[in-house]
A and B are shown apart, each in its own frame.
Chain A
Amino acid sequence: MIESIDPELCTGCGGCDLACPMDVIYMNPETEKAEILYWWDCMTCFNCELECPVDAIYVDPIKNKTPQPW
C-alpha cells in the first residue's frame, strides 16, 4: 500500500495522479504537489512509484486484506 510521497522531491508533474488506477493520489492546487488522499483504496500496483521521475514515492508491498473464500 502506498506509504509516502516526499514533498521535497515531488516536482508536481502529476504523473502519479494520472497513473493511479484507484484514484488515490491528487494534486494539491495550492502546494502543486502530489498528495495521498484515499490510501485505503491503494491496490499496491506500483504504477505511481514507477511513474515518478524523481523517486519521491514509496509503496510498501504489503496489501490491505480482502475476504478469503473460506
Chain B
Amino acid sequence: MGVHDPENVVNTDLLIIGGGFGGLFAASKAKQNGVRDVAIVDKGDVARTGQSRLAAGATIYLFPGDDLEEWARCIFLGQKGLCHQDMVESFLEQSFARMRELESMGIVFRKHPETGEYIRLNSRGLVPVKMTIGPTYKKMMGGTALTTVLREAVRRAGVRFYPKIFISDLVVRDGRVHGAVGCHRRSGDFIVFKAGAVVVAASDCSFRGNYCCVEATTGDGFAMAFRAGVDLADMEQMVVNTAPLSYNFEGTGPVAQAGARFLNARDEDFMPQYRPEGSAAEINHIVQAMAREYQKGNGPPFFFDFRMLPEQMEEMFINNFGGWMPRNLIRLKEKGIRVLREKVPWAPALQTLRGGIKTDLHCLSNVEGLFAAGTAQSMGPGLFNGWSSGRCFWSGATAGLSAARYLKQAGAPSPDPGLTQHLRQALFNRKINGDGRGKPLAEITRRLQRCMFAYDTSIIKNQASLEKAATEAAAIREEDLPSAQVRDLHDFIQFKETENMLVTMELFIRSSLLRQESRADHMRDDFPEVDTSWLKWIVLNKDLKKGYCFEELPWEKYRFQPGDLTPPQGKSHD
C-alpha cells in the first residue's frame, strides 16, 4: 500500500459520500431527476453499516390536517431560535410525501389494530409535534427496514455502490468540487472519483463515545470539508445523551414519558428540581442537571429507575423497535438482566455533533457543485425524537434534486493531477510498521475521549476548561499522532479516523470558545444567560482571515422573530 500503487479512477456524474438516509435519498432523487450516473461510496457498506441502519425509524411526518405553523414554532423554540426556519418549513411540508414514497417502495407502517390509524407518539421536547413509529419491511423493522428498501430502490435505479472505501479528501479547485479521493480499506489502493457534483452525506462525530452504536462516527465529512475550505456552522452544538454504563440501550424518551426516573447517588429523583417536565425533559437539560448534581457531590453513580414501568414495557420494546434493540434486550434477558424492570447505573454519553456543513435551502455549500445531506449538514441544534431521520430524508432528497439541476448546466470535472497527487501524499502520510513500535491508537483515542467527555468540556463549558481542552488537543496533534502505532491497514484507517476526530474536536472547541452565551446544547458556566445578541451562526472556514466569522440570521425571510422566543410570562425557555 502507498504512493506507488496503481491509481484507480472512477468517473461519475454525481458522487455521494455516505450510504445512510441522506445519501440514499439523494441518490434516489438524483436518478428520478435524470442524472445519468450516480455512485455511492461508503467506508462500510451502503445502507448497512451507518447510523441510519441502527435508527429506531421513528420520524416526524406532518400529516394533512396537522398545523405546520405550530410544529415549526415548536422546532424554532426547541432550537432556541438558532433555527434554519426555511429548511424546517420545507422539511415539514415535504415530510408526508417522503412517507408516501417510502410506502410506495414497500415500507408498511404499523397501525392501531382498532382504529386503523398510524401509530404516532409525541416527540420529546417538541410536543405537540408527533413522530410516526413502526416502519416495517418484510420481517425487518425501523432503520433496518428503511435502509433496506431505499438500498433496493436505488440499486434498481442503477446507482453504483462502492463499499469499504474510506474517502479522505474532497477535490476542490477554483471554488468548485471535482470529486474526491480515498483508499480501499482492505487493499489500500488509492482511488480517485472524478465527479461533476458531490453530496457529502457522511458525518457525525461521537469520538467513539459510550452512547449506543456510535463508534463509527469519527467526523470524516466535517474534517474533509474543513480541509477543502467548506463553511461549517453550529460546531459548538454537541449533544450529550445518556446511556447505561455497561451495555447499549436506546429509547429513553418513551420510557421517561412512561414514568421512568433519573436518580442520583442519594436515590433522589433530582430532575423536578431543574425542570417541570422532570425526567421527560429535553436531553440537554437532563445531562446539565446530572453535571450540577455532580458538582454538588450527589453523584456519581446516577441511575435510571425503570421499576415503576408497566411489565409490558419490555415486550413493547421488543415488538415495536427495530434492529439491534430487541436483540440486545433478548440477549440481556438471557443473562438475567431485565433492563426495563431495574434501577440501572447510567451516565451522560456523548452522542452527536449537531453542527456541520453550512448550506442554503437547496443544501448547496459555499463550494460550487458541493452539496451536503444527513448529519453532515448543519440544521441547527437539538436532538428531538423523530427529528434526525426526518431531517436526513429532507436534506438527502433536497441535495439530490439540487445536484441534478446543477449537473444540467455544469461543465465536466477536471481535477488537477497535481492536486490529486498532493491529496494522495496527504492520505498516505503514515507508513505501516509491522514491528508494533509507537503509541497504540487506543491510547490516543482514550486521551482524546478523556478530554472531550469531561463534563466541563462537553456539558457545562467555561473559558478555562475549553482552553485546557485546546491545549490537550494541540498536545495530541503534536505528540501523539506522529508517534502513533500503525501496524496494518485496519490501524491505518483508524489513524485517519483519529486525525478526523481531532480536527472535529478542534472545531468544536473553537466554536465553543467563540459563543459567549448559553443556548440549546451549548452551555457556558461563565456565560449562563441566553443573549439575544448571539442569535447568529458561527461559521468556521480555514480560508477566512481569522478562521471564523459570525453570520446574522436572515430574519427578514423568517416567520418567527427573536421576540417570539420570550413567552408572555417573560420566562426564558432555557
Binding site for B on A (CB under 8 A): 18-23, 37-38, 40-41, 43-47, 49-51, 59-63, 65-70
Contacts and interface: CB of A to CB of B under 8 A. Distances in A.
Given A19-B45, A68-B210, A61 B245 contact: no
A21 B218 CA distance: 12
Contacts of A47: 48-49, 53-54, 324
B453 interface: yes
23 contacts: A18-B44, A21-B213, A21-B216, A23-B490, A43-B216, A44-B247, A45-B213, A45-B324, A46-B324, A47-B324, A61-B247, A61-B332, A63-B246, A65-B210, A65-B246, A66-B209, A66-B210, A66-B446, A66-B449, A67-B210, A67-B449, A68-B453, A69-B240
A51 B163 CA distance: 16
Contact of B442 (A22, A40, A50): A40
B144 A50 contact: yes
Contacts of B48: 18-19, 47, 51
Interface stretch (B7-15, B102-110, B124-132, B454-462): B454-462
A62 B245 CA distance: 9
A61 B328 contact: yes
B446 A68 contact: no
A59 B213 CA distance: 14
Contact of A61 (B44, B210, B248, B323): B248
Contacts of B328: 44, 46, 61
A60 B458 contact: no
B557 interface: no
Interface string B18-59: 000000000000000000000000001100111001100000
Interface in B64-83: none
Given A45-B54, A62-B246, A70 B209 contact: no
A51 B213 CA distance: 16
B191 interface: no
A61 B249 CA distance: 10
Contacts of A20: 44, 49
A41 B44 CA distance: 14
B210 A70 contact: no
Closest 10 CB pairs of A and B: A21-B49, A46-B324, A21-B216, A43-B215, A69-B455, A61-B331, A45-B213, A18-B45, A66-B210, A46-B327
Contacts of B49: 18-21, 47
Nearest to B491: A38
B353 interface: no
B203 to A, nearest CB: 14
Given A38-B490, A68-B210, A70-B455, 17 more contacts: A18-B44, A21-B49, A46-B323, A50-B323, A50-B327, A59-B331, A61-B247, A61-B332, A62-B335, A65-B246, A66-B453, A67-B446, A67-B450, A68-B347, A68-B453, A69-B459, A70-B300
Interface in B412-458: 442, 446, 449-450, 453-455, 458
A61 B335 CA distance: 9
Contacts of B459: 69
Nearest to B44: A21
A69 B347 CA distance: 8
B208 interface: yes
B348 interface: yes
Contacts of B215: 21-22, 41, 43
A21 B327 CA distance: 17
A19 B331 CA distance: 19
A23 B373 CA distance: 24
A24 B450 CA distance: 24
B141 to A, nearest CB: 11
B453 A18 contact: no
Contacts of A22: 215-216
Contacts of A59: 327, 331
A44 B248 contact: yes
Given A22-B215, A47-B48, A69 B144 contact: no
B386 to A, nearest CB: 21
Nearest to B244: A63
A40 B491 CA distance: 12
Interface in B475-496: 490, 493-494
